Chain A
Amino acid sequence: MADIERYKTPTSLAEATEILRAGNVTVLAGGTDLLPQTQAGRVHFQPTLMNVRRVPELQGIAEEGAVVRIGALVTITELLESALVRGRLGILWQACDHFASDQIRNAATVGGNLCNASPAGDTLVPLLALDARVVLAAKPDGAVQTRRVPLAEFLLGPGRTCRAPTELLAAVEVPLPPAGFAGEFYKHGTRPGLDIAAISIAAGARRDGAVLRDVRIAFGAVAPTVIRAPRTEAVLEGRAPDAATLAAAVHAALGEIQPISDVRASDWYRRELIGNILKRVLTHACQM
């Protein structure tokens, strides 16, 4: 049985980080991962359960200079309803459109999705492709301090991040991609919604005449974390996406992934899908 001794509802980032500093805290935001995980016994509640939903600093989507700052408490529904996200961060918006169900999207937060660090996490794949970084807040000696960590460094393994127990993920910052950047998010599951990705791909680029520039590719569910595919990007960068280039890109991608076999797919099938779908997604992207 769960042994929650205290329930805290901080109303400021300072208060929240103070509570974290005292230690032994479980952070609750949307609860869509936390509750099933605790009920299944995979995660155990700490003595203090802290609901951060009332912390104003964790809210809101804002464009600040060339960066979009998305507060950790922004829900998937809010991302879907944001004109800024839809207009400038298209692959993130598409991923939200594949995310679970309406009910879960209303509760689940982007911060929670990041901290859950699933190798198949739907928003993680486009955020990684978009060079996002997370903002971690702590209060080590009386004042709130923040540090920024690139998403690729934040994610350490399945369910593991570099967030210290005394830190709170406050926001994710996404540099605005260059003008003309367009892409596609593809999630392969066995049904249209309410599914965990067997593989996912976020791919985007900018057309410069016949060739591709600023190529960004990330994969989900084919490695211990979501991963960028730098060698695949390099194959495509500055090239026209003809059949030979696409074949070379697939070859590179298959060298960058390390899929496993589990209840959702075999490693063999995941490799086949990455090859087939990468070609399909890039072909679409080039038609835009």
Chain B
Amino acid sequence: MSETLIGKRIPKMDAPDKASGKTRYIQDLEVPGALHAKILRSTQVHARIVSIDTRAAKALPGVHAVITAADVPWQRPIGVGKDHLPLKTDRVRSLRDEVAAVAADSEAIAQAALKLIRVEYAPLPVIATTQQALAPDAPLIHPEPHGADSSAHLKVAGSPVAFTGKPDNVAMTFDYAQGDIAQGEAEADVVIEDVFRLHYVTHCCMGVSGVIAEFDPNGNLLLYSNTQVPFLHKREFAELLGIDPARIRIIQPPIGGGFGSKLDIYPFEPIAIFLAKITRRPVKLVFTREEEFLASPTRQPVLLKLRSGCRKDGTLTFRAVETVHDNGAYTSWGATTPFVMMQTISSLYRVPHCKYHTMAVYTNNPYAGSFRGYGNLQATFAVEAHMDKLAEAVGMDGLAFRLKNAQDPGEITPQGMHFKSCGFKQCLTTAAGRSDFLRKQAENRARWSDPAPVKRGIGVASMLHVGGGAKIYPSDGCGTILKLDDFAHVTLMTGASEIGQGSETVLAQLVCEELGLPLSAVTVVNNDTDITPWDVGVHASRTTFIAGNSAIGAARKAKKKILDAAAAKSGKRAEELGLSGGFVTSASGERLFELGKFLRSLHFSDKADLVMTTFYYEPPSRHQDKQFKGDVSAAYAWATQVCEIEVDTQTGIVRLLKVTGAHDVGRVLNRLGIEGQIEGGIVMGQGYAITEELRVENGVVRNPNFRDYKLVTAPEIPEMDVSFIETMDGEGPQGAKGVGEAPAICIAAAVANAIHNATGVRITALPFTPENVYRALHGASEPPVWNAA
């Protein structure tokens, strides 16, 4: 038997090229004859567009096209809410809004042309907060159908051509309930209520957004795109253009980071397509870093009121949640984060009675999209603060209180989630044990009255997240095509996109494990919709689980085909044969045929055949019903993280010193890969908790640069001690679960609990930047209040 690849430390296949600067990102792609495009964005947060004069820009030498909404009367609303025209017609609703666009011979000429476009605006009142948006006399953000002459185009068949408007500023609402909340309150001995405020952050992908659009002479569209969802976006682009989706091909160059930001269609993509169509030239549009800050999506800011209760013995009885989400001016995935938030509210711990109500409210702020963790950071922040407070109220330690209410394997929650494998309690005891949590917590607390200005704190938080896909579409599947050539080289064609998470390495590994081949025998093709089979996209921590099971399925079919042929040839039974070390082997490990030679012999035989297989994996999960109940994932991931911090009470500076994490990952497939993913996630969670904030004031982003938007830098990265709890999930590929989002989710909650342990002050608003913390410690801040009545 050759040694297993599972659990080994395997460098990512794309790492050498990326580390040595050889990877060709979309910025590096030069398409012959391509024009360069730039977008003119609004200078007003909320205004009517009175007039746009593009004559001077059009007259600039080197300019090939200047377009406004008037040039594309056939454009359709895009995005999750279909409330968003790529080029704005009669009004702008946020500072990022696209008013005009230029295609020119160079970026510099396009930029110069933007300056020659004259736009006259008539300002409208700015709605800067959800409170203003919900006021009875608030101006409407979407008062009427969009569209230059939408009345005519509304009649066109197909998807809606114009958004019909909204009679109020509420974009979406979500309501969920289980049990009887009144009974839960009645049964509680302790009831607490707090309001939490979660802030704006953005993804900060190293690779900024970009697209190249090109039509061939037959009108087929080729898009080089950084999208995370190529197959679903083919349909959306087709609807937008009114063409057959079959005429669209999407190629994804290596993507410089996604984290959810590339899960929706944004105006720049249709705009590049419009320009390519009008100029009949390829058009390349790549953001500047400033534009990336202003015009790519954010994590959703949330105001959250949580009411929780438990019995004297520590048993949770109910949880009631109301949230208001700042939707920004348009609706993208951010509005749908309640899907995930309500899972944490209802099912992270056992709570018999739950009620959850959310409104996503239109404002003139930047609009929120999907971001690693997808609402779970916000929900976990509130829930884990209450776990500490309730424990204290009933006189239990935080660990015992959590263990008392933690989920066990086999549980089916009232929301319908079935935890077939569940290592939650091992996560809690492992992280607490390895960090010496209880002893340090007591010691820190005893030092509250010490005069030293720098205090130490320790805090714990846990999380539940989908780990076996998420059935938010009718299918949650992924296809694989596997081709073995006559030299035993394997081409793995998968629908799963690589966005830096290491999927191609792990998929190659799973295939090699089945076929007994080294990783060097595999080429992964994962970036061309004309070649790769269907997939719903990179999201919901689903790729290893879904695409992994799909790759294993295709590999097992190939193996069966090879072994059946080998059985016929050797006279042995196929069940006695195996694949190992590049050979067909017997039950005793004897090498019968070298695989390459054997495949050649198949090709050249009378009954010539190829080993080429396909497999489509659909996880055994269910779409939620209208009450948001259902087992949406084939597996669920768990984690506990303990954060140790230092707070300087004279400056408010919080330093994250150490994170002790325990993650139920099902099984470790690539140890190096999962360590990297978890460490990176911890740092992303650290940024959310302590350093990062997109400062939006009256709709204006004040810090669209890395000088003032503080990503975590190398010296700030904490010591990490990460343990893997291997629960060997029965449905997972080799027992693994998805963990892409998990590590970012509970850091902010654990840091908040640690600050309380250090100082006795509980801060319910993020981020924990020095001034915010200093104000809270010195009673000079305004705690969040519920103002969304």
Beta-carbon contact of B703 and A191 below 8 Å: no
Minimum CB–CB distance from B333 to chain A (whole Å) comes to 28
Residue of A nearest to B112 (CB): A1
* Cα(A273)–Cα(B648), bound, Å: 12
B413 within 8 A of A: no
Minimum CB–CB distance from B689 to chain A (whole Å) comes to 13
CB-defined contacts of A269 to chain B, threshold 8 Å = 771, 774-775
Interface residues of A, CB < 8 Å — how many?
21
Find B651's partner among A188, A192, A263, A268 (CB 8 Å cutoff).
A188
Q: Which of A188-205 contact B (CB under 8 A)?
A: 188, 190-196, 198
CB-defined contacts of A188 to chain B, threshold 8 Å = 651, 770
Q: Which of B678-695 contact A (CB under 8 A)?
A: 691, 695
* Cα(A277)–Cα(B778), bound, Å: 16
* Cα(A276)–Cα(B780), bound, Å: 16
Beta-carbon contact of B650 and A266 below 8 Å: no
Query: How does the 8 Å CB contact mask read for B749-785 relative to A, with 1 for contact and 0 for none?
Result: 0000000000000000000011100110010100000
CB-defined contacts of B774 to chain A, threshold 8 Å = 269, 272
Supposing A1-B108, A273-B651 touch, asked if A265 and B713 sit within 8 A by C-beta, the answer is no
* Cα(A269)–Cα(B776), bound, Å: 12
Minimum CB–CB distance from A79 to chain B (whole Å) comes to 21
Supposing A1-B108, A277-B650, A277-B651 touch, asked if A264 and B691 sit within 8 A by C-beta, the answer is no
A251 within 8 A of B: no
Residue of B nearest to A272 (CB): B774
Minimum CB–CB distance from B208 to chain A (whole Å) comes to 16
Beta-carbon contact of A190 and B775 below 8 Å: no
Q: Which of B699-724 contact A (CB under 8 A)?
A: 702-703, 707-708, 710, 712-713, 715-716
Beta-carbon contact of A191 and B691 below 8 Å: yes
CB-defined contacts of A190 to chain B, threshold 8 Å = 653, 691, 710, 769-770
CB-defined contacts of A191 to chain B, threshold 8 Å = 691, 710, 712-713, 715-716
CB-defined contacts of B691 to chain A, threshold 8 Å = 190-191
A147 within 8 A of B: no
* Cα(A265)–Cα(B708), bound, Å: 11
Q: Which of B716-741 contact A (CB under 8 A)?
A: 716
A280 within 8 A of B: yes
CB-defined contacts of A198 to chain B, threshold 8 Å = 770
Supposing A264-B708, A269-B774 touch, asked if A193 and B651 sit within 8 A by C-beta, the answer is no
Minimum CB–CB distance from B293 to chain A (whole Å) comes to 13
Beta-carbon contact of A193 and B650 below 8 Å: no
CB-defined contacts of B780 to chain A, threshold 8 Å = 268
CB-defined contacts of A276 to chain B, threshold 8 Å = 650-651
Beta-carbon contact of B703 and A263 below 8 Å: yes
Residue of A nearest to B769 (CB): A190
* Cα(A237)–Cα(B303), bound, Å: 52
* Cα(A26)–Cα(B650), bound, Å: 43
Beta-carbon contact of A192 and B715 below 8 Å: yes
CB-defined contacts of A277 to chain B, threshold 8 Å = 650-651
Beta-carbon contact of A263 and B708 below 8 Å: yes
Residue of B nearest to A101 (CB): B713
Beta-carbon contact of B713 and A266 below 8 Å: no
* Cα(A273)–Cα(B770), bound, Å: 11
Minimum CB–CB distance from B505 to chain A (whole Å) comes to 31
* Cα(A277)–Cα(B651), bound, Å: 8
Beta-carbon contact of B651 and A194 below 8 Å: no
CB-defined contacts of B111 to chain A, threshold 8 Å = 1
Beta-carbon contact of B775 and A192 below 8 Å: no
* Cα(A1)–Cα(B771), bound, Å: 39
Minimum CB–CB distance from B646 to chain A (whole Å) comes to 13
Residue of A nearest to B695 (CB): A263
Give the residue among B112, B651, B710, B775 with the most A Cβ atoms within 10 A: B651
Give the residue among B108, B708, B769, B771 with the most A Cβ atoms within 10 A: B771
* Cα(A190)–Cα(B773), bound, Å: 12
Find A192's partner among B713, B770, B771 (CB 8 Å cutoff).
B713
Supposing A190-B691, A191-B710, A196-B707 touch, asked if A263 and B702 sit within 8 A by C-beta, the answer is yes
Beta-carbon contact of B771 and A266 below 8 Å: yes
* Cα(A276)–Cα(B707), bound, Å: 25
* Cα(A205)–Cα(B592), bound, Å: 85
CB-defined contacts of A273 to chain B, threshold 8 Å = 651
Minimum CB–CB distance from A109 to chain B (whole Å) comes to 20
Query: How does the 8 Å CB contact mask read for A14-25 relative to B, with 1 for contact and 0 for none?
Result: 000000000000
* Cα(A263)–Cα(B771), bound, Å: 11
CB-defined contacts of A280 to chain B, threshold 8 Å = 650
* Cα(A269)–Cα(B715), bound, Å: 25
Minimum CB–CB distance from A258 to chain B (whole Å) comes to 19
Residue of B nearest to A276 (CB): B650
* Cα(A269)–Cα(B774), bound, Å: 8
Minimum CB–CB distance from B212 to chain A (whole Å) comes to 24
* Cα(A268)–Cα(B707), bound, Å: 22
Q: Which of A265-285 contact B (CB under 8 A)?
A: 265-266, 268-269, 272-273, 276-277, 280
Beta-carbon contact of B771 and A265 below 8 Å: yes
Beta-carbon contact of A194 and B770 below 8 Å: no
Q: Which of A224-282 contact B (CB under 8 A)?
A: 263-266, 268-269, 272-273, 276-277, 280
* Cα(A194)–Cα(B769), bound, Å: 16
CB-defined contacts of B707 to chain A, threshold 8 Å = 194-196
CB-defined contacts of A263 to chain B, threshold 8 Å = 695, 702-703, 708
Residue of A nearest to B115 (CB): A1
CB-defined contacts of B715 to chain A, threshold 8 Å = 191-193
* Cα(A193)–Cα(B710), bound, Å: 11
24 CB < 8 A contacts A-B: A1-B108, A188-B770, A190-B691, A190-B710, A191-B713, A191-B715, A191-B716, A192-B713, A192-B715, A192-B716, A193-B713, A193-B715, A195-B710, A198-B770, A263-B702, A265-B771, A266-B771, A269-B771, A272-B778, A273-B651, A276-B650, A276-B651, A277-B651, A280-B650
User: Across chains A and B, which 4 residue pairs bring their CB atoms closest together, nearest first?
Assistant: A276-B650, A269-B771, A192-B715, A263-B702
B→A interface (CB under 8 Å): 108, 111-112, 650-651, 653, 691, 695, 702-703, 707-708, 710, 712-713, 715-716, 769-771, 774-775, 778, 780
- List 7 additional contacts besides A191-B712, A191-B715, A269-B775; criterion CB under 8 Å: A190-B710, A190-B769, A193-B713, A193-B715, A195-B710, A269-B774, A277-B650
